[in-house]
Amino acid sequence: MTAIPLTVRANWLRQIYPQIQVIEAWDGPTEVGDTPLIKKKHKDVLTEPINVGFRVAQLNLQIFLQQFSLATPL
């Protein structure tokens, strides 16, 4: 866990990658680490169907996940 609020961290991503839509997962897993199980839990939350309504958001999410080695090909 980090003491830095989710909104602050999300805003960092918005500033670095203005072309993406950041989705703040307030109810996401609280476990942290680099194990396959923890990575899967985080990936599962991020790849659940969301009502964004356009493919660009899905592609941007895929790019974001790839940067953190969480992605599988679409």
10 Cα distance to chain centroid: 10
Does some domain include residue 55? yes
Predicted confidence at residue 37, as pLDDT, reads: 93
The number of beta carbons lying within 10 Å of the beta carbon of residue 4 is 9
Residue-wise pLDDT tens digits, 31-48: 888 899 988 888 887 777
Does some domain include residue 74? no
Does some domain include residue 1? no
Residue-wise pLDDT tens digits, 11-29: 999 999 888 888 787 877 8
Are 14 and 22 in contact by the 8 Å Cβ rule? The answer is yes
Does some domain include residue 72? no
Does some domain include residue 73? no
Does some domain include residue 28? yes
Does some domain include residue 11? yes
Does some domain include residue 59? yes
Query: Which one, of 74, 73, 5, 1, lies nearest residue 38 by Cα?
Result: 1
| Count of structural domains, the chain | 1
Range of the domain at 25: 6-67
Predicted confidence at residue 52, as pLDDT, reads: 47
- Calculate the alpha carbon distances from 40 to 37, 45, 70 in Å: 5, 9, 8
